Structure 1
Amino acid sequence: MYNINFNVPIKVHFIGIGGISMSGLAELLHTMHFTVTGSDAKMSTTTDHLEELGITVFYGQRPSNITSDTNLVVYTTAVKEDNPELMEARRLEIPVIDRAELLGQVMKRYSDAIAVSGTHGKTTTTSMISQILLEAGLDPTVSVGGILDSIGGNIRIGSSDHFVVEACEYTNSFLKFSPTTGVILNIEPEHLDFFKDIDDIRSSFKKFTELLPENGLLILNSDISDISYFTKGLACPFITYSITSETSSAEGALHHYYAGNIHYDEQGFGRYSLYEDGEFLTDVSLNVVGSHNISNSLPAIALARSYQIPMSVVADSLTRFTGTKRRFEKKGTISGVTIVDDYAHHPSEVKATLEAAKNYPHSRIWCVFQPHTYSRTRSFLNDFAESLSLADKIVLTDIYAAREKDPGDISSKDLEAALKKKGKDVIHIKNFDDIQNYLLENCTNGDLLITMGAGDVVTIGNDLLGL
Structure 2
Amino acid sequence: MEKKTYYFVGIKGTGMAALARLLKDLGNDVLGSDIDKETFTQQPLENAGIPVLSFNPANLKNGMIVVQGNAFGDDHEEIVRAKEMGLTIQSYPDTVEQVVVDHTSIGVAGAHGKTSTTGLLAHVLSNVEKTSYLIGDGVGGGVKDARFFVFEADEYRDHFLAYHPDYAIMTNVDFDHPDFFKDLADVKDSFETYGRQVKKGLFAWGEDKSLRDLNVDVPVYYYGTKENNDFRATNIIRTPEGSTFDAYYKDEKLGNFTIHLYGEHSVLNSLAVIAVAYMEKIDLQEIKTELASFGGVKRRFAEEDIADMKIVDDYAHHPSEIKATIDAARQKYPDKKLVVVFQPHTYSRLAAYLTEFGKSLSKADKVFVTPIFGSIREQNGSVSAGDLEKLIKGSEDINMDSLEKLLAYHDGVVVFMGAGDIEKYEDEYKTRLK
Shorter-chain TM-score bucket reads over 0.9
2 CA distance for matches of 1:45 and 1:146? 10
TM-aligned CA deviation for residue 188 of structure 1: 0.8
Q: Helix, strand or coil: the match of 1:345?
A: coil
Structure 2 match to 1:389? 362
Q: 1:331 to 1:37 in 2, by over 3 A?
A: same
2 CA distance for matches of 1:133 and 1:40? 33
TM-score (norm 1): 0.86
Q: Does 1:438 align with 2:434?
A: no
Kept in 2, the 8 Å contact 1:373–1:404? The answer is no
Q: 1:331 to 1:156 in 2, by over 3 A?
A: farther
Superposition pairs of residues 385-464 of structure 1, within 5 angstroms: 385-419=358-392, 424-431=393-400, 433-435=401-403, 437-440=404-407, 442-444=408-410, 446-464=411-429
Q: Does 1:257 align with 2:231?
A: yes
2 CA distance for matches of 1:67 and 1:134? 35
Q: Does 1:347 align with 2:283?
A: no
Q: Does 1:40 align with 2:34?
A: yes
Q: Helix, strand or coil: the match of 1:13?
A: strand
1 CA distance for matches of 2:31 and 2:363? 46
Q: 1:158 to 1:395 in 2, by over 3 A?
A: farther
1 CA distance for matches of 2:185 and 2:381? 29
Structure 1, residues 120-150: CA drift from partner, whole Å, max 9, x if none? 11111112212221232x1101111126xxx
Q: Does 1:223 align with 2:207?
A: yes
Select which of 173, 176, 188 maps to 2:174.
Answer: 188
Superposition pairs of residues 330-369 of structure 1, within 5 angstroms: 330-334=303-307, 336-361=308-333, 362-369=335-342
Q: Helix, strand or coil: the match of 1:146?
A: coil
Q: For residue 120 of structure 2, what is the amino acid of its counterpart?
A: M
2 CA distance for matches of 1:29 and 1:297? 28
Q: 1:407 to 1:312 in 2, by over 3 A?
A: same
TM-aligned CA deviation for residue 106 of structure 1: 2.0
Q: Helix, strand or coil: the match of 1:410?
A: coil
1 CA distance for matches of 2:53 and 2:278? 45
Kept in 2, the 8 Å contact 1:221–1:240? The answer is yes
TM-aligned CA deviation for residue 33 of structure 1: 4.5
TM-aligned CA deviation for residue 66 of structure 1: 4.6
TM-aligned CA deviation for residue 183 of structure 1: 1.0
Unpaired runs of at least 5, structure 2: none
Stretch of structure 1 that moved more, 402-411 or 116-125: 402-411
Kept in 2, the 8 Å contact 1:331–1:461? The answer is no
Stretch of structure 1 that moved more, 84-93 or 218-227: 84-93
2 CA distance for matches of 1:77 and 1:225? 31
Q: For residue 368 of structure 1, what is the amino acid of its counterpart?
A: V
TM-aligned CA deviation for residue 173 of structure 1: 0.5
RMSD after superposition: 2.1
2 CA distance for matches of 1:29 and 1:356? 35
TM-aligned CA deviation for residue 226 of structure 1: 5.0
Kept in 1, the 8 Å contact 2:108–2:152? The answer is yes
Unpaired runs of at least 5, structure 1: 1-5, 148-152, 249-255
Q: Does 1:125 align with 2:117?
A: yes
1 CA distance for matches of 2:211 and 2:420? 33
How many residues align? The count is 430
Identity %: 31
Structure 1, residues 350-379: CA drift from partner, whole Å, max 9, x if none? 011112222222431100111112221121
